[in-house]
Amino acid sequence: MSQTQGEDRPTVLISAAVVASEAEALLEEAGLNFVYTEAYPSQEALLEAAARLRPVAIMHRQGFISGAVMDAAGPQLHIVSRHGAGFDGIDVAAAEERGVTVARAAGANSRQVAEHTMAMILSLLKDLPSLTRAMREGAWEKNARATRDVAGTAIGIVGYGAIGTKVARLADAFGMRVLVYDPLLPSGSLSGPGERVEELGVLLERSQLLTLHCPLEETTRGMIGAAELARLPKDAILVCTARGGIVDEAALLAALDAGHIAWAGLDVFNKEPLEAGSGLRTHPRVLATPHLAATTPRGAVSMATAAASNIIDVLAGRLPSLEGALVVTGWALQGAQKSIEGGR
């Protein structure tokens, strides 16, 4: 572990080995000490650190923040602030029971993840991984291969939030036919390009390429399994930069082996880091990256500073200023929320 000087100051526990220095500067300016764990800390490591440091806040990047970790931190823990948009690595129900605020860096990385998604889409539509591999092996397939057109390809987007809408705009700019499924959207026209499809099964049957941008929740865990993959057209492409657990990885490998799914582009996995022996690492029809779609210079700074700002706001008794940041309103903030709602 590493930490700042001034251990008499309130402490923020950061569940990672590093975050952007701009976030460190914000915490220091606010009079806060910060302490890192190792990368991908185990539950035991988090419990030990929380019990020893008694943090007022946890900035969550890696590992799982359980109710037990919150209990180990003690009653002075006010907030668990997510370094990113997805909060499946935090036991939200446990936080609510304990009156701990949960906030996230909503939208801070949406542009970066959309760009990474589009890079995967273009690469796989053009068969770039296999063409590159063949060139390295000495082949010259100019007259033996053809790739797909991007324009006119039907892309099904599951989840039309900050990332999904940006993917839709990028896909639309390339002339793709955009289809959208998101049961949480209010009725009416979409905020961006695309045709709204009311049923997931219908979207699957119409999509030559499926890309996932929904949160991991009980309703979405295992949402894309063997039956759903079978409903996609033959030679469809699957891209997931959302969360591991949405796709049944065993079913995906089987569909790839059977030749029904032509390609899978994955930035997220059920267990991270992805195990060295996983077939997803070595399958010739998988383009895999290590959950870094959001990790660009701008993206890293945006996520870290948003997470730090949420901590500073909550410790000062303010609601987070970032729109969409609040997941759970802790006991210390409930008065502030009521005051704002009463003034409307």
11: nearest Cα among 61, 52, 41, 67: 52
243 catalytically annotated? yes
Q: Is the peptide bond between 183 and the residue preceding it cis, with omega within 30 degrees of 0?
A: no
231 catalytically annotated? no
Report the distance separating Cα 158 and Cα 259, nearest Å.
23
Token representation of residue 60: 């969550």
Residues, the chain: 344
Catalytic residue among 61, 104, 243, 249: 243
Report the distance separating Cα 79 and Cα 71, nearest Å.
13
Contact 190, 215 (CB under 8 A): no
Catalytic residue among 60, 78, 116, 291: 291
Q: Can you name the residues that pair with 286 across neighbouring β-strands?
A: 264
Q: Where are the beta strands (DSSP E) in the chain?
A: 11-15, 33-36, 57-60, 79-82, 101-104, 154-158, 177-181, 195-196, 209-212, 236-240, 261-266, 286-288, 326-328
Contact 48, 98 (CB under 8 A): no
291 catalytically annotated? yes
Sheet bearing 326-328, strands edge to edge: 33-36, 11-15, 57-60, 79-82, 101-104, 326-328
Catalytic residue among 22, 272, 275, 298: 272
Query: Catalytic residue numbers?
Result: 243, 272, 291
